[in-house]
Each structure stands twice: as C-alpha cells, then as structure tokens.
Structure 1
Amino acid sequence: MVLEQFKEKDFAQLIKWIDSPELNYQWGGPAYDFPLTTEQIATHCANPDITPYLFKVNGDNVGFVELLKVSNTQYRLCRVFIDEAFRGRGLANNMLEEVMLKAKSQFDCAEISLAVFEHNKAAKKCYEELGFETYDQEVGRVVPNGDSWDLALMEKRI
C-alpha cells in the first residue's frame, strides 16, 4: 500500500471513477461540475493549499484523497474516494491513516477535519472508527438534483 502524489497522468483515472452527477456531488461537493474534465482537475489541483494523493495497493489504483491546508496546524480531508471494486476491505481506513501520518509528519498538522453527507453511512462509520467526532451539522443542504442532504462536520486531533 502506497500513497503517491496525484499527477496529471492520473486525471483519467479520477474521471473514470466519478461517473455520475450524484457521485460527483457526494465526492466533490460544489468544487467540480459533472462530468469531470482534465481542465477542472488541473485548475483545482493548482491551488497551493491542496495536496492530492492517489492510493495504490499491489500496483492497482484504489483510491484518492486530498489534504486541504486550513491553517499552519489544521488540515481538512477532502474528496475521499475508494474504487467500488475495492470497497469493503478496510482500504479507506488504511488510506486515511496514511494521509493523516503525512499530514502530521510533513505538514506538522495537529488537527484534521472533514465533512461527510449523513446518508453516506459507510464513510461516516469509517471516519468514526478512525476517531473522528462530529462537532457540527449543516441541515438541508440542497444538492444539484434538488434533494436535501445533511452534512456532518467532523474533526480529530492527531
């Protein structure tokens, strides 16, 4: 298992994974329009406060995650994704543990936060298993298809 810098050569993998408007919003929030394009990804990843990673297991591209710098000691996990073919194996936990280690060792991060839609039960359970606790909630966030999704805001000291 290895966490690598996400590079332009990896953009096509992300575009392949994010294959519906609903998944696009659940994964990327308002940061991306569907369908994803290389231009959108390049523009997003050019932000110096964003550090994107590709997660590989036995040479297979398995997942994606970003660290967003909030302050000198606080980072946010964003756009967490595990390929559907690899779900249910605990790999999200492994990927997130790796990215939190990088946040602490490379960026001197003391606190890490994230946001997850409440209906994404598997993701929320994963974050809770890693020690994240909900500190706030945004109720009734309207998403592009007109539905209303609640958003849990979670954090953890590392």
Structure 2
Amino acid sequence: MACRWIPTPESNLLWGGPLYRWPITVEQIAEHQQKEEVSSFWLVSDEQKIGFIELFRLSEGEFRLCRVLINEEAGRGKGYGKQLVQMAIDYATENLSAHSLSLAVFEKNTPAIRCYESLGFRVTGRETSVRSFNNEDWPLLRMSLSSG
C-alpha cells in the first residue's frame, strides 16, 4: 500500500533520504522499523496521525533523529514538528540514556533547520557528499544536540 503522506519522488527524498524506493509503501516502512536499532514514534491528536519520527541508535548513548514528517492534511506551520522532535529528544534522554543526538537535514529545508535550532541543535558541519534530484544538488547539513 502506497503511503499518501509522501506524494512525490521529491518529497520521498526530502523525508527519507535514499533509504526508501519511490513510491514508498507502508510495507517498506514496516520492514525498516523491525531493525533493532530503530525506534519510531507517531504524534497523534484526536486519533489522527499527525507526524512521524525515528530514532536510530548509532552506538551506546548516541542516536540520530531521522525521517521527521508532518502530515500535510494536519497542517504544517502549527508547531507539530517541534512537538514531535521534542518528544523524541525526551524519550531518547529519559528512556535510552542518550547523551548525544544528531541529524542530517537538507540545506534547502530551512523550516526544519529553524525548528531544530529552536530546540538547541547546532550545525556542526556540511556533508562532503550531496544528494541529487532532477539534476539539482542537495547539500546536507549535520546538526547535533549534546546533553552534556
């Protein structure tokens, strides 16, 4: 079954990077979620799924936030992304003993960058490799949050 939240190949790359094949399916996501190092979460309001986020364990105490997505039907620009990321930060620090959280974000995704910065993430570098879509290069920024 195709995932309606990701309606185009461009949004598929923006959201999931090269992990998922277009068109993305619920089965692809479910298969990825079975990995031991993956913890995923839904943001739900009034029984409607509003957002999705994933924590990927890199090593003991180190996690990467991945595949942050807000359902367009729920409406973007309402703070759901910030709420979802904060939920993942809280879960990682309180339940997984995370001391370091990082993420990669496309440089062109300025709303996401602003959201992450508002929660304390800081740009730590730029990836040397870039992703391409329709002959356009998409550089990636690395961001991190350390709890001390």
Query: Structure 1: which 5+ runs fail to align?
Result: 1-11
User: How far does residue 57 in structure 1 lie from its aligned partner after superposition?
Assistant: 1.8
Identity of aligned pairs, percent? Answer: 36
Query: What letter is aligned with 1:117?
Result: F
CA distance in 2, matches of 1:126, 1:70: 23
**TM-score normalised to structure 2 length:** 0.92
User: How far does residue 157 in structure 1 lie from its aligned partner after superposition?
Assistant: 1.1
User: How far does residue 34 in structure 1 lie from its aligned partner after superposition?
Assistant: 0.6
Aligned to 1:99: 88
Output aligned runs, 1:81-96, within 5 Å: 81-84=69-72, 85-96=74-85
Note if 1:60 corresponds to 2:48.
Answer: yes
Aligned to 1:41: 29
Query: Structure 2: which 5+ runs fail to align?
Result: none
Output aligned runs, 1:8-157, within 5 Å: 15-84=3-72, 85-138=74-127, 141-157=130-146
Q: Which moved more, 1:43-52 or 1:110-119?
A: 43-52
Instruction: Report the aligned-residue RMSD.
Output: 1.5
SS of the counterpart of 2:32? helix
SS of the counterpart of 1:56? strand
Query: What letter is aligned with 2:97?
Result: D
**TM-score normalised to structure 1 length:** 0.86
Could you tell me whether the CA contact under 8 Å between 1:55 and 1:61 is conserved in 2? yes
Q: Deviations over 1:56-91 (max 9, x none)?
A: 123221000000001111100000011123211111
Q: Which moved more, 1:128-137 or 1:35-44?
A: 35-44
Query: What letter is aligned with 1:124?
Result: I
Aligned residues: 146
